[in-house]
Amino acid sequence: MIKVVLISHTPDPERTIAAAARVSSSPVGAVELLEKLTPERVAQLVERLIASGHMSVFEHANFTFALEGISRVTSHQLVRHRLASYTQQSQRYVSLKDFNYITPASISGKAELAGRYHETVRAAHQLYLEMQDAGIPAEDARYVLPNAAETRLVMTMNARELIHACSLRLCLRAQWEIVELFEHIKAEVEKVAPRLAAELKPKCYRLGYCDEMESCGIFPTRAELADKRGGNT
């Protein structure tokens, strides 16, 4: 089961973003601005920054998450987001005696295939253990382990990259596991920065259309939108 815990973050993240933004157009410094900003003004500023695309100020707020219970499929997709810092449990240094793995619902829903899936994964793990008993180091024995292998990481991402990554990974055209992971991430951000969390949404909400080949149905694709507009004129 996916577990996400926000283990640390920039104190008062939204206020920090708002104060940083105000510095550019104010005669006073960030310390004074921080004292003067009311919660309403902070919310207003965050909204305006998003609307105007003044995104660099969102880099001042950092969030560090402990992530557990995801597959190596998903961690591989996650670390493609380059503007973040990651530390992942090593399969070189940690020998996986207790082997946990992820089973997609599409597989567990098919009893016969699911049985073979579990059999195959467990057989791979058994061979992994036997190879280590024969003196093969964990870093080499792990080559036999599947993508389904569970992993854990610590990830630090700033608010700008969170907005960007969520725009891609909360999209229902992304794979279910990473969508679920980012839903958990969003829920954690919501606890400390609700205004910011409201901006963690699929890209279509910002675009007003779906830029994938096929829409999930929330918004029409660009082509469907153009057809509609053409029909109206």
Ligand X SMILES: Cc1cc2nc3c(=O)[nH]c(=O)nc-3n(C[C@H](O)[C@H](O)[C@H](O)COP(=O)(O)OP(=O)(O)OC[C@H]3O[C@@H](n4cnc5c(N)ncnc54)[C@H](O)[C@@H]3O)c2cc1C
Residue 170 is a binding residue for ligand X (CB under 6 A): no
Instruction: List the one residue from 43, 107, 138, 174 that touches ligand X (CB under 6 A).
Output: 174
Q: What residues from 48 to 87 belong to the interface with ligand X (CB under 6 A)?
A: 80-83
Instruction: List the one residue from 41, 118, 173, 201 that touches ligand X (CB under 6 A).
Output: 173
Q: By C-beta, is 108 or 147 nearer to ligand X?
A: 147
Residue with tokens 């973003």: 17
Q: Closest by alpha carbon to 199, among 47, 4, 15, 18?
A: 47
Instruction: List the one residue from 33, 49, 165, 200 that touches ligand X (CB under 6 A).
Output: 165
Please tell me which residue in 152, 169, 173, 229 is annotated as part of the active site: 169
**Tell me, what DSSP letter sits at residue 65?**
E
| Residue 12 CB, nearest approach to ligand X (Å) | 25
Residue 164 is a binding residue for ligand X (CB under 6 A): yes
**Residues with Cβ within 8 Å of residue 176, at least 6 apart in sequence:** 104, 105
Active site residue 48: no
Distance CA 99, CA 149 (A): 7
| Residue 208 CB, nearest approach to ligand X (Å) | 19
Residue 97 is a binding residue for ligand X (CB under 6 A): no
| Residue 83 CB, nearest approach to ligand X (Å) | 5
Distance CA 98, CA 171 (A): 33
| Residue 84 CB, nearest approach to ligand X (Å) | 8
Distance CA 147, CA 107 (A): 14
Angle between helices 176-192 and 159-169 (to 10 degrees): 140
**Polymer length in residues for the chain:** 233
Amino acid present at 195: R
Tell me which residues are annotated as active site: 169
The binding site for ligand X (CB under 6 A) comprises: 80-83, 164-165, 168-169, 173-174
